[in-house]
Amino acid sequence: MRERLVVIGNGMASVACVEQILKYSTKFDITIFGDETHVNYNRILLSSVLAGEKEFEDIILNDIDWYRHNGITARLGVRIVNVDAAARTVTDADGGVTPYDKLLLATGSSPFIPPIEGVAKSGVFVFRTMDDARRLIELAGLGVKAAVIGGGLLGLEAARGLQVQGCEVTVVHLAPTLMERQLDSTGGLYLQRKIEALGVRVLCDKSTAALIGGSHVEGLRFSDETTIETNLVVIAAGIKPNVDLGIKAELTVRRGIVVNDFLETSDPHIFAVGECTEHNGQIFGLVAPLLEQGKALAATITGNRGQQFSGSVPAAKLKIAGVDVFSAGNFDESAPGVEAVRLEDPSLGVYKKLVLKNGRLEGVILVGETGDDHRYMEWLRSSKDLTSQRRHLLTPPPPPDGGFDVAQLADSETVCGCMGVTKGTIIEAIHAHGLSTLGQLKDRTRASTGCGSCTVLCQSLLRAVAPEFQEDRVKVLCDCVPFPQEKLREIVRSQRLKTVQEVLDVYGNSIGCEICKPAISYIVDMVWCGEHGEDRSARFINDRVHANIQKDGTFSVVPRMRGGVTSPAELRRIADVAEKFKVRMVKVTGSQRIDLLGVNKEDLPKIWEELGMPSGQAYTKGVRMVKTCVGSEFCRYGVQDSTKVGIELESRLENLYTPHKTKMGVVGCPRNCAEATVKDIGLVGQEGSWQVVVGGAAGKGVRKADLLITVETSEQALEGAELFFQYYRENANYLERTYDFVERLGIEKVRRETAYAPEEVREGLLDRLHKSKARSSDAWLERRSPRTTQFVKIQPMETMREERS
């Protein structure tokens, strides 16, 4: 008979250990008991779920198929209440008895609830499980005043998550500075400034005496008799190992279940792993050492005893976007032989401290800049003698080389999929033509001129093969106007340049090209809010005739159909026009509009006139559409009037131009039928509130939009969208989609500078948007006063025949 291995606990430590066991041996019949009903998920990322950066599904580590596939019996939602070590059985809460040959205790830990008066009131939560996170997301929202008791790693992450969900949050911390277990007091103060800058209130050195209110919490009273108002409390005051079953099994238990270097307990049939254990007097709350434990235990339990767990360097990283904090090792500098190396820059908010003992790294604290954490961890683990590196301890090492080894790529392998260019072709071209820049490589081979995703690869090939490889200088707009776009925007503004030609004459080669002219056209329009000198010769043909050029030189016509809502009369007119002008194809687009394809340039003004509808801007880098679902007017599930809000959003932004096309979506409930979460800007209706999401994509890449802000009213949602829209117009580079833009800046920065910006900043954005909007107009109205020969085909004044005759 196969040995029966019973695992109590279905968390990260236990499942990681089981995964290791499966690598050694399949001799066990494995049963895993978990008191949560969920499969194994990444508990560390619960705070990212709370902050809206991840969905629950995203943090699942082992789905149910994994259990099935490995023949593991998963008993989820079953709590084990007793272990009979003599009989070798475990008993669950329903009285069911399961025998074992080997027992693995991975019962984890529980939140420590300090004995404060009133903690039993409703509205008081802990933040430990997926269910906790779900409940907090349900209750959090605008107008909710939340308090987090505990300013450690978990407390701060919970606070930020609640704030992003719309709550007004205060962190209450007992110690004088935040995260005092991982940071010294200076580091704690730097961190506090960053947390406060996000809009979270921090009260340090505060001891909570009581939770006040009726049956539901209404506030906190502190030992100094001051109070704050709150209707939601999260307690994050530390954890305590779950040792009950260890005691029942009569194991040696101190703070945790005591294990040796092989993860054996005092009972030869029982092993323990994870946060429930105590090893060499140390207990654990971070994940890395638990995975190390799992490896040693897997060896032990499968009869390969030998690998030892020798404790670990404690390391912690705060997961709050925009607040970089890393700490590892021991940073007590009072011990003899210990010295500290520091760097402090209050303006940058950067604080770094290395603690060295006899020339070896003992501990590290990084606040505000944590890019080097791998290097320091390596020094800590290896106890390397750093004497020779003393001058460079706090400066970054030379940049690592790409990571991907181009040498391993076969010559026949395609590097650029868009243009079908192989590695061999690129190397040949580099040698044959002495190419040394990416620009030259693009011109010569056309590699990297499509979607651009192979750019890094092309650069590493150049670096490896070209003898005189030059990194392309600062990313300039193009050779004609050799300035980065950011600089150009500033030049246009400060030098008061209103036309493309002025910019080209003064800052460029006076001719320009198809790359810089449309970009500068955009910049002068945006900077001067439409009060620029329009120069059509600098525009792409689509923007000269307000239609999209097709492969045969004909054009397509897409009228605006706000929110994708039309009428019988409109549809009749479209049908009539399509027949009258013998339109070659009538196509319903992905943007809930109708495309008339195969139209001659000369016919455009007549078609627009007969349609009597505004331009849908489907040909330009501008406001495309707002896609909507049916919403609360008709849909059984709708909770917000998505069509009405969508039409309003489209009306407010239409006719404006953006760095790249801007597609939007508004949905009336989280079922997301109009796919608002993969749009540049999306409004997601919820019961009583809206989420404004930005930077989504469903093109060559798929990117889920980031949550900008959660608001109560439709008007606030529209304003959130407007703020981001104008911010994108003003700060993105031409041809940069919102998803690249948001990724480049980071959603935290975007939030800080739009929805969470000071009032005067927000007003400025809205003023400039409204000014641009006031000066904009439907491009198709040019049919009534066209520019010179804008649409007409020039007829020669005489023909050859007349000449000859």
Partner 1 sequence: MGPGEWIRITPVENVPLREGRSVQIGEVSVAIFNLGDRFVALENRCPHRGGPLADGIVSSAGEAVAVTCPLHNWRVCVASGRVLKPANEGACRVRTFEVKVEEGVVLLSVRPELVEASA
Contacts with partner 1 by CB under 8 A lie at: 443-444, 446, 480, 509, 511-514, 517-518, 535-541, 544, 549, 551-553, 787-789, 793-801, 803-804
List all residues 6 or more positions away from 699 whose beta carbon is below 8 Å from its beta carbon: 737
Question: What residues does 316 pair with on adjacent strands?
Answer: 327
The nearer residue to partner 1, 207 or 550, going by C-beta atoms, is 550
Element (H, E) at 685: strand 681-686
The nearer residue to partner 1, 503 or 630, going by C-beta atoms, is 503
Which tokens belong to 151? 């300013």
Helix (H, G, I), strand (E, B) or coil at 100: coil
The nearer residue to partner 1, 89 or 509, going by C-beta atoms, is 509
The nearer residue to partner 1, 94 or 552, going by C-beta atoms, is 552
The nearer residue to partner 1, 104 or 421, going by C-beta atoms, is 421
Minimum CB separation from partner 1 for residue 518, in Å?
8
Closest CA to 537 of 301, 196, 788: 788
List all residues 6 or more positions away from 726 whose beta carbon is below 8 Å from its beta carbon: 765, 766, 768, 769
Backbone angles phi, psi at 572, to 5 degrees: -65, -45
**Would you put residue 539 in left (φ > 0), alpha (ψ -120 to 50) or beta?**
beta
List strand residue ranges (DSSP E) for 417-489, in order.
421-422
The nearer residue to partner 1, 347 or 795, going by C-beta atoms, is 795
Element (H, E) at 716: helix 714-731
d(CA 326, CA 317) in angstroms, rounded, equals: 5
The nearer residue to partner 1, 622 or 720, going by C-beta atoms, is 622
Taking the CA atoms of residue 442, residue 446, residue 450 and residue 455 in that order, the dihedral angle to the nearest 10 degrees is -40
Minimum CB separation from partner 1 for residue 432, in Å?
10
Amino acid, single-letter form, for residue 166: G
The nearer residue to partner 1, 316 or 503, going by C-beta atoms, is 503
The nearer residue to partner 1, 277 or 501, going by C-beta atoms, is 501
Residue 352, number of CB atoms within 10 A of its CB: 23
The nearer residue to partner 1, 54 or 544, going by C-beta atoms, is 544
d(CA 193, CA 198) in angstroms, rounded, equals: 9
Minimum CB separation from partner 1 for residue 440, in Å?
10
Minimum CB separation from partner 1 for residue 615, in Å?
18
d(CA 308, CA 57) in angstroms, rounded, equals: 34
Question: What residues does 145 pair with on adjacent strands?
Answer: 168
Minimum CB separation from partner 1 for residue 794, in Å?
5
The nearer residue to partner 1, 544 or 775, going by C-beta atoms, is 544
Minimum CB separation from partner 1 for residue 428, in Å?
12
Report whether 318 contacts 157 (CB < 8 A).
yes
Backbone angles phi, psi at 155, to 5 degrees: -60, -45
Minimum CB separation from partner 1 for residue 547, in Å?
11
DSSP-derived secondary structure for 118-133: TTTSBTEEE--SHHHH
d(CA 695, CA 376) in angstroms, rounded, equals: 34
Minimum CB separation from partner 1 for residue 427, in Å?
16
Minimum CB separation from partner 1 for residue 347, in Å?
43
The nearer residue to partner 1, 535 or 743, going by C-beta atoms, is 535
Minimum CB separation from partner 1 for residue 534, in Å?
12
Minimum CB separation from partner 1 for residue 316, in Å?
51
Element (H, E) at 64: helix 64-69
DSSP-derived secondary structure for 406-435: GGGS-TTSEEETTTTEEHHHHHHHHHHHT-
Minimum CB separation from partner 1 for residue 619, in Å?
11
List all residues 6 or more positions away from 519 whose beta carbon is below 8 Å from its beta carbon: 477, 485, 488, 734, 735
Amino acid, single-letter form, for residue 32: I
